[in-house]
Chain A
Amino acid sequence: SQQGEEDPQALSIQEGENATMNCSYKTSINNLQWYRQNSGRGLVHLILIRSNEREKHSGRLRVTLDTSKKSSSLLITASRAADTASYFCATSRYTDKLIFGTGTRLQVFP
């Protein structure tokens, strides 16, 4: 079974609003990554957070990690139409293997 479950499955917002996506996983990890997938394209890495980190920022992205709850969240601030995509969390546990979540489909309306 997949490691990560994401919530919500789909999210629709207006440009300028913030978008928050959540990811829960089942076993201990050493890092968690977020990827974006535009329709018909491959995945693109956004940000990585290590198990000993609680929060990380990159531009308009903010990621938090709560290892006690086995959960992470991705916040996209001041969203743009170009942020429309599917977003996946992916976890690894001391190996090269990444286990991807089910994804959140984000639609940003102009």
Chain B
Amino acid sequence: DAGVIQSPRHEVTEMGQEVTLRCKPISGHNSLFWYRQTMMRGLELLIYFNNNVPIDDSGMPEDRFSAKMPNASFSTLKIQPSEPRDSAVYFCASRADRAQSSYEQYFGPGTRLTVT
């Protein structure tokens, strides 16, 4: 298994530009999580999906952030327009069905976003 795949690994963009981060979860996992990690705020959950449906988006900072999961094997996190304070490492994680008593989340390598 290739694990959780994220792209791009690094993104440098200018303030005001649209940024799209992509994630492919582990096949067979039915929950997907987007996190943001910064030195100041640590690791924050932005949004998570269960069976492709957004369950909790209370961590999404503001309307500039949006996330979609059109199918079980793909999710995007979009920032439009981007701002310098959005600079962070964004992680995607997936998890198997909780009915299987599995609570472990598998993280991707992250996308390091720099907004100048």
Contact of A48 among B48, B104, B107 (CB under 8 A): B104
A97 close to B105 (CB less than 8 A): no
Per the 8 Å Cβ criterion, residues 43-78 of A in contact with B are 43-45, 48
Shortest A71–chain B CB gap in Å is 18
Question: Is A102 among interface residues, defined by CB-CB distance under 8 A?
Answer: yes
Say what secondary structure dominates the interface of chain B.
strand
Question: Is B56 among interface residues, defined by CB-CB distance under 8 A?
Answer: yes
Question: Is B12 among interface residues, defined by CB-CB distance under 8 A?
Answer: no
Contact of B105 among A41, A45, A95 (CB under 8 A): A45
How many residues of A sit at the interface, in one of the four size bands? 20 to 34
Shortest A54–chain B CB gap in Å is 18
Contact of A45 among B56, B106, B109 (CB under 8 A): B106
Interface residues in chain A, defined as those with a beta carbon under 8 Å from any beta carbon in chain B: 2, 31, 33, 35, 41-45, 48, 88, 92, 95-103
Interface residues in chain B, defined as those with a beta carbon under 8 Å from any beta carbon in chain A: 4, 31, 33, 42-43, 45, 48, 50, 55-56, 91, 93, 95, 98, 103-110
